[in-house]
Chains A and B, each alone.
Chain A
Amino acid sequence: MSNNVTSQILAFISGRYPQVEISSSDNIFQIGFVNSLFAMELVMFIEKTFGVTVPNDELRIENFHSAQSMTELVDRLTPATAGV
């Protein structure tokens, strides 16, 4: 699940900024292309793609630093699957 989430997030970022190469642990804020418009797009993408709602108290910069931190956010917001 997590690897798939990470790859989808990286694909989204790469789709928006094809000229930038990033890894899952790179801090996208330090790269310098994040503004409020892209932040809004990121939140919409995460909510739409992974079927979650990001509550206000999770809208913290550390949750959006990197594809990895966003993956951890998605994991926290995704209800645990019942069963085995």
Chain B
Amino acid sequence: MAAPVLAAVDELVEPVVDRTSAHAFAAEHIAPYGNEFERAGRIPEQLLERMSEAGLWAPFLPPEIGGSGLSMVTLGELHEEVGRACSSVRSLLTVHTMLSWAVQRWGTGEQKARWLPELAAGRTLGAFCLTEPDAGSDATGIRTTAEPTGDGFLLNGGKKWITNGQRADLYLVFARLGSSIAAFLVPRNSPGVGVTPIRDIMGTRGSMLAELRFSDVLVGPEALLGPSGFTAGMVLTGTLDLGRYSVASGSVGIIQACLDACASYTTQRTVGGAPLRDLQLIQAKVSDMVTDVRAARLLVTEAGRLKDAGESATIMATWIAKYFASTAAAKHASEAVQIHGANGMGGDYPVGRYYRDAKVMEIIEGSNEIQRITIAAEAYREMTTT
């Protein structure tokens, strides 16, 4: 199916620097096309370019390399507003953010100079490549290998469910290196990289998922990102932490979108001569959406505040925010479909898409079952033996 065509714009795209400008951008360029993106199974280049013009790809990077120097709290607000319009577009931001942050945090001076301006401008789009056909939440089970050679490393293996794998220009690939796991920056056009689109997927259908194959892919020593040895796991931990933060923010956006849709629908739709909103069971559902979206947003904001402060407590705060927000998103997206009745199942309203997309949030960047184990372990860890 051909990619949707966005309406022409007469003026330059306004820069996105805060929640208000992000909302305006998403309301004009993303939300009206969300269902079309889902049907087409892709995001049009036209929108990717407008996101570049708006400076939306990596605005947390410093201005001197093309970013806007935005705080993590503001970044979360941007991802919420984009996620409110379309989770597939937000997912592209998530994986691009993960790669960009990893280069900024762990890259050498050479790696930063080569990639960060490209990533900030959106001329190079990134993807995060960890999951494999037989290893998801269990990252230690990955089988992709990196074998040191005289000229760098030889990569062999496969990755699956890679968001934006079809379109991204640069992959952050995790592979076994000796007894550890290491991260590599691999351009998509490297010889030996195979890309197979995944189109049959329940949610975030526009996120251009792919299965990747690495067959004797030779990369230079400059491809290795971050420390080797025991601390290599920190690259993975830190990158996933930021991905979780973005997913949590996007989940808040889904809840808000459900609330928006339901408030509108129940005001217009009548039953027995009165609007649906007059029914107390409808009010109960809407009130729960209001409460949960505020609670989830507060948790995300707190995680972002801790990131901005450099506090290590942000990691657990982000786990909790992602668990709460994604669970609430799935619950309220289901209720939003219920409120819309048969209309919720069809393609004329967005809530069916929210429902499909919300389910994904409970699975990616650490399944919610893993998150509950981690959160509970934290509680037990802090217990004293007395």
Contacts and interface: CB of A to CB of B under 8 A. Distances in A.
B11 interface: no
Contacts of B227: 56-57, 59-60
A17 B315 CA distance: 16
Contacts of B237: 36-37, 39-40
23 contacts: A16-B381, A16-B382, A18-B385, A19-B383, A36-B233, A36-B237, A37-B237, A37-B374, A39-B237, A40-B238, A40-B312, A43-B231, A43-B234, A44-B312, A45-B312, A47-B310, A48-B309, A56-B106, A59-B227, A60-B231, A61-B229, A61-B230, A61-B231
Contacts, number: 61
Contacts of A42: 312
Given A18-B382, A19-B383, A36-B234, A48 B312 contact: yes
A26 interface: no
Contacts of B312: 40-42, 44-45, 48
Interface of A: 16-19, 35-37, 39-45, 47-48, 56-57, 59-61, 64
A37 B384 CA distance: 20
A40 B106 contact: no
B384 A44 contact: no
Given A40-B312, A44-B310, A17 B233 contact: no
A17 B381 CA distance: 6
A36 B236 contact: yes
A65 to B, nearest CB: 11
Interface in B340-386: 374, 381-385
Contact of B229 (A37, A48, A60): A60
